[in-house]
A and B are shown apart, each in its own frame.
Chain A
Amino acid sequence: MTTTPPTTRIPVSGLTKRISALGRARELGILVALAIVVVAATIKNPAFLFSNDGWRDLLLTPSILMLVAVGQAIVIITRNVDLSVGSVIGLTAYLTGRLFIDMPWLPIPVVVLLAVLLGAVLGLINGALVAFARVPAMVITLGTLYAYRGINVLWAGSTRVNASDMPREFLAVGTGSILWIPILTIVALVVLAAAAWYMRNTRGGREYYAIGSDPAAAELYGLRVTRRVLTAFVLSGALAGLAGVFYAARYGSVSSQAGAGWELDAVGAAVIGGVAITGGVGSVWGAAIGAVLLMTINRALPILGIPDFWQRAVVGVLIIGAIVLDRVLAVRQRRRLIEARDDES
């Protein structure tokens, strides 16, 4: 299933170049799709791009999902999955609101930090159960999806946090911009760049790919699989926690159902972005672009004259199209590699 074998022993430099180009083309493909959607919507209604609100929404709306998708991508690359992110967003968003109401003297950065910390702790619970109990992540995070949401409902009841409960400076962060770029987008891009650098250039990052490609081999090789898997879940939880803070800041109103169903959007964004559900393949860039594509299509459909009720169907077609495309590319590449090997001998 790996599109780039860990040890490429092919001396033909032209071929390896082509393979790396293929890998890059995968992210390029989604980028092109994104551009087509934006251009089509803009031609139909120039306000989609060339108005203050349109431009801001274009960048702001995907920022929250982008964070979650980056965390999800890291977890999926280790051949696990985190279905609890939607519930983590809900809990941390509500915590953010609650802290502003119950402890108004807390400075905003401390509140943000506490929410991210809660996300990390919730991720740690997932990770510990997965890594130490050796139970499939899908089952564990399905359980914690229910449990975290239940705690949220128990805590919030039918109450909700409203914009008037939160300090104005905090809400200003949620909608404000620096140099025409929304603050939340800048934060999301910084997180994305850091995660991408970490996954691509550090030893730790490469170990995630090794674990996802072949967990047994990674363990035999001496990689600390347990610790890495744990870290991946903590990262995913912390990013979902940050997304929860963003959610509170952006929408200004948090009920006990905040973030419900986001886990599927996050997994969908990662899969559309070329992260293979079988682990070891893909990049956080791809997942982030996938997230932007999902949210942009969501907003573009009504402009293009398609009722937005069809949005989920389009998402489904995109996910299926993306995995079929990945499969076709993988099969073609394997054939090329075999041909190259045969030519050599």
Chain B
Amino acid sequence: MTTMTGTTQATRVIPGHAKPLWRRMLLTRESAIIGLLVLVVVVASVTVRGFGQPITLTYLLLDIAPILLIALPMTLIMVTGEIDLSVGSMVGLSSVVTGVAVQAGIPFEAAALIALLVGVVGGAFNGFLVTVVGLPSLAVTIGTLALFRGLAVGLLGTTAVTDFPETWTALAKARIAGTTIPYIMVPFLILLVVFVILLHFTPFGRGIYAIGLSKDAARFSGVDVERMKFILFVLAGLVAAFAGIFYTLRFGSARGDNATGLELQVIAAVVLGGVSVFGGRGALHGVVAAAVLIGVISSALRLANITSDVINIVTGVLLVLSVVAASVLNRLQQSRRRPGRPPRVAASTAT
């Protein structure tokens, strides 16, 4: 801003836009993650035997499909500054509902519809408590995390339903003819396009960022904050239920403990992808790259015969490093721009 003194005083200048376009495009969180992803893929293809085989890609995509799917609505929710910890339990609940319905003799297609409906109802319950009752989403979704999981485990106990139609279970694992890409990527790509347009190219999406930056300012500028958050929680429930149906078909089994802890992997991918936990910042391409990055590292480590649990350390350290680095860089930039500005107050988790 100081560089602009002397020229036009009246025009408002956004400091970031003073830099040339290529720097703005390349020096972002998202590009860093995509760069890291390319680097890891190249290194893994060269050093890890078997990583270059087409079958690796198939299993990699099958493994991360639920994370990729749920990361889409989760990104939108976290950009508004809220969070949904109940998605993993919703995957389990939808899986169990599908299983119980099929066991009761309902055709699979109808059972899947019922599961999707349960997802909508669960998401609406979260949304109701957050927007109408006005509770913090962290507390609400810790509650529904336990509630949905409890319903799932309560409905099936320790039993599992495994008799699903062959055509559907085969489809969940099938590859698109002539490629090594599983069919689940088709609905994912459709959803991706929908969510990218929704977040980045519509007034609704601008409203999401506005809410994350300042809820009050968004409300005063005519954004219906409550309605939008409610819609986002319903979307998260719906997509999580869809992921639950896929999960059930892929493993051919509906169990109460399906996808336990998935919410943490989703949030790890979203945060690693450059979405700020305080809201108002983030983009979908970064999140998708981050989810794939975690999947690639885990699959490369597994192929290299390193115990698959090392992935926990890698995920954790990547997550911590990425946020700490972003925060430190941000503060360096700020102190360079405005020396003598008081530091920001200690971090908080208020959502």
Contacts and interface: CB of A to CB of B under 8 A. Distances in A.
A22 interface: no
Interface residues of B, number: 57
Nearest to A214: B345
Contacts of B346: 130-131, 134, 211, 215, 219, 225-226, 229
Nearest to A157: B307
A313 B154 contact: yes
B315 interface: yes
Interface string B322-351: 011001100100000000000111111110
Contact of B345 (A139, A154, A216, A278): A216
Contacts of B331: 134
Contacts of B194: none
B151 interface: yes
B134 interface: yes
Nearest to B158: A309
Interface in A69-110: 79-81
Nearest to B276: A136
Interface stretch (A140-148, A167-175, A181-189, A245-253): A140-148
B271 interface: yes
A150 B316 contact: yes
Interface stretch (B3-11, B138-146, B160-168, B216-224): B138-146
B264 A146 contact: yes
Contact of B320 (A144, A154, A229, A309): A144
Contacts of B256: 309
A153 B309 contact: yes
Given A140-B323, A313-B151, A314-B150, A323 B143 contact: yes
A225 B145 contact: no
B146 A313 contact: yes
B153 A136 contact: no
B129 A320 contact: yes
B19 to A, nearest CB: 24
B345 A215 contact: yes
A278 B348 CA distance: 9
A243 B252 CA distance: 39
Nearest to B306: A154
Interface residue tally of chain A, by bracket? 35 or more
Interface string B297-320: 000000000010111111111111
Contacts of A134: 327, 331, 343-344, 346-347
Contacts of B196: none
B316 A146 contact: yes
Contacts of A142: 264, 267-268, 271, 316, 319
B135 A154 contact: no
A261 B257 CA distance: 13
Contacts of A261: 261
B133 A324 contact: yes
B50 interface: no
A153 B147 contact: no
B160 to A, nearest CB: 13
B149 interface: yes
A317 interface: yes
B277 interface: yes
Contacts of A44: none
Contacts of A144: 316, 320
A277 B138 contact: yes
Given A154-B313, A264-B142, 20 more contacts: A133-B323, A138-B277, A143-B315, A146-B312, A146-B319, A150-B309, A151-B313, A268-B142, A279-B348, A309-B153, A309-B154, A310-B154, A313-B151, A315-B147, A316-B145, A316-B150, A317-B143, A319-B142, A319-B146, A320-B129
10 contacts: A81-B349, A136-B278, A138-B138, A219-B345, A261-B261, A311-B150, A316-B146, A316-B148, A320-B140, A323-B140
